[in-house]
Amino acid sequence: MSKSFFDYGDTKVKEDSNSKHQKQDNAQKSSDDNNKNIEDMVGKYKNMSKNDLMSSFFQEAQKQKQNGTLDVAKLEKAIDNMGSYLSAEQKKNIKELLNKIK
């Protein structure tokens, strides 16, 4: 027996539903991966001295400059978004760091 128009319509709905679930699963996996990356970075830097942190920061900035991936404007926007969580002194220090890597 051949399929009617309505049979194909049901198939599309099922495919869309499966696609929606797949997208949700992918989003969750991406979120989990991001959380793992953040945890890894925190673990990498949490025991460093201030001098070691600064050295690592400038090395990373230099590497990104060479690769053409350093986006100071994006960093400034992220810092502005965090502004309410930072003290005036922290904001000043961060802006000084950004000025040094420009």
pLDDT of residue 70: 94
Q: Kindly state whether residues 34 and 62 are assigned to the same domain.
A: no
pLDDT at 88 over 80: yes
Contact 98, 79 (CB under 8 A): yes
101 falls in which pLDDT band (50, 70, 90)?
A: very high
∠5-12-6 over CA atoms, to 5°? 20
- Domain region containing 37: 1-47
Does 28 lie in the same domain as 5?
yes
Kindly state whether residues 39 and 57 are assigned to the same domain: no
Answer whether residue 33 shows pLDDT above 70. yes
Residues 26, 62, single domain; the answer is: no
Are 101 and 56 found together in one domain? yes
Task: Please give the structure tokens belonging to residue 47.
Answer: 């025991």
Q: How far apart are CA 18 and CA 37, in angstroms?
A: 28
| 64 and 70 Cβ atoms separated by less than 8 Å | yes
Q: Does the pLDDT value for residue 39 go beyond 80?
A: yes
Tell me what pLDDT residue 65 has: 95
> What is the average pLDDT score of the chain?
81
